[in-house]
Amino acid sequence: MKDYYEILNVSKDASPDEIKSSYRRLAKKYHPDLNPNDKEAEKRFKEINEAYEILSDPEKRKRYDMFGEAGVNGQGGYSQDFTGFGDIFDDIFDIFGGFGRSSYRARERGPVKGADLRYNLNLEFEEAVFGVEKEVQIRRSESCDTCSGTGVKPGSSKETCSKCKGTGEVRYAQNTAFGQFVRVATCDACGGSGEIIREKCTTCNGNGKVLKNKRIKVKIPAGVDTGSIISVRGEGEAGDRGGPPGDLYVYINVKPHKLFKRQGNDLFITIPISFTEACLGAEIEVPTLEGIEKFNLPAGTQTGTEFKLRNMGVPNVRGIGRGDLHFKVEIQVPKKLTDKQRELLLELDKEFGSITKHGKKGFFKKVKDAFGN
């Protein structure tokens, strides 16, 4: 697992300013233009960008701190499209004067997928085993119905930004240690969108999005367990600039059962039996998640013996096969006896006679042999 804090040489409690400062220093040190044909420097540069893309975003950093790389769902990385790397490239071009910035800015203004959401769902043991449909309620941003996500008051329209002429960028000549460069920066008048909203939608205040509570039905397949993740495509936050919505990830937690223990797809249970049942054999009742099963216990069963009922466990979550039910028998010794019961047991012990005594002698002989006496 990558340690983004280690990559940026900062501590886990580093402030945003400390993270940004370290990033700028490392990005300049390992930038490919300053290290031509150096594959190791190029690799480090990509790792630095990936780490900064996660740690500079408060929400992504929070998810990373809680769940590691799995929590950011692959949102870090260095891709050819550079989608979502606005802050990174802003900083890089701050360092090197902004050359070539326009091609990246144009891509940033394209559609952006909405953020993913997480929901923690508790299930009863039986619900996880057999599957269930649950309705969950989430709070998410959705496209504003009043303005259809444009942020513009109905009847009005967006205007081309006069400062950047619709490019979303402004250029400044800048002298640096590397020579003179044309620095390209985000237009402060339109925020890089290239458009100005004079009359904002009163419902969303020009954001194009509103927060809503949404109830969603989620189908939980049979066989899920604690740690399982169910993805519901398209039920996350609304996208930007016409981008698709994010996804909803449902994290499963299964409550323990009063009788059964689960290991993988197998179930385990301990069943008490009487001394008489163990000696003579009997038809006993074995509880399962689907009811009671009859089982013929063989005569002479010893305490701790384990038996198995095939295909009475948990269904495989992939829909292939099913686990087994394992049950162990435990002979129950009564703690209190009536005089009559005591008398009968003594008589039974006498009946066993040489059988039990021979057994005891055999055991103690083994003890003596083991200790060399």
pTM more than 0.75: no
The verdict on 250 and 270 lying in the same domain is: no
Last residue of a domain, one of 64, 96, 128: 96
Contact 142, 204 (CB under 8 A): no
Is residue 103 domain-resident?
A: no
Tens place of pLDDT for every residue, the chain, 373 residues? 678 889 999 998 899 889 998 998 898 888 877 887 888 888 888 889 888 988 988 888 888 887 777 667 544 443 333 333 444 445 554 544 444 444 444 445 678 899 999 999 999 999 999 999 999 999 999 999 999 888 899 988 889 999 888 888 888 776 655 566 677 788 888 878 888 888 999 999 988 899 999 999 999 999 999 999 999 999 999 998 788 999 999 999 999 999 999 999 999 999 999 999 999 999 999 999 999 999 999 999 999 999 999 999 999 998 889 999 999 999 998 889 999 989 998 988 888 775 545 454 555 566 566 665 5
The verdict on 284 and 366 lying in the same domain is: no
**Domain count for the chain:** 5
Identify residue 17 by its one-letter amino acid code. Answer: D
Residue 69 DSSP symbol: G
The verdict on 223 and 140 lying in the same domain is: yes
Residue 265 DSSP symbol: T
Q: Give the rounded distance of the alpha carbon of 360 from its chain centre.
A: 57
Structure confidence at residue 84 (pLDDT): 36
The verdict on 179 and 222 lying in the same domain is: no
172: containing domain: 159-196
Last residue of a domain, one of 170, 196, 222: 196
Q: 22-40 burial by CB neighbour count: b if 16+ within 10 A, else e? A: bbbebbeebbeeeeeeeee
Give the C-alpha separation, 359 to 315, whole Å. 45
Is residue 61 domain-resident?
A: yes
The verdict on 176 and 148 lying in the same domain is: no
Q: 153-181 burial by CB neighbour count: b if 16+ within 10 A, else e? A: beeeebeebeebebbbbbeeebeeeeeeb
Structure confidence at residue 367 (pLDDT): 57
The verdict on 190 and 232 lying in the same domain is: no
Give the C-alpha separation, 204 to 21, whole Å. 35
The verdict on 88 and 3 lying in the same domain is: yes
The verdict on 26 and 71 lying in the same domain is: yes
Q: What is the CATH number of the domain that holds 281?
A: 2.60.260.20
* Helical H segments across 222-353, by residue range: 275-280, 339-352
Structure confidence at residue 98 (pLDDT): 46
Is residue 84 domain-resident?
A: yes
Residue range 238-252, pLDDT digits in tens: 998 788 999 999 999
The per-residue DSSP string of 231-262 comes to: EETT-SSPPBTTPPP--EEEEEEEPPPSS-EE
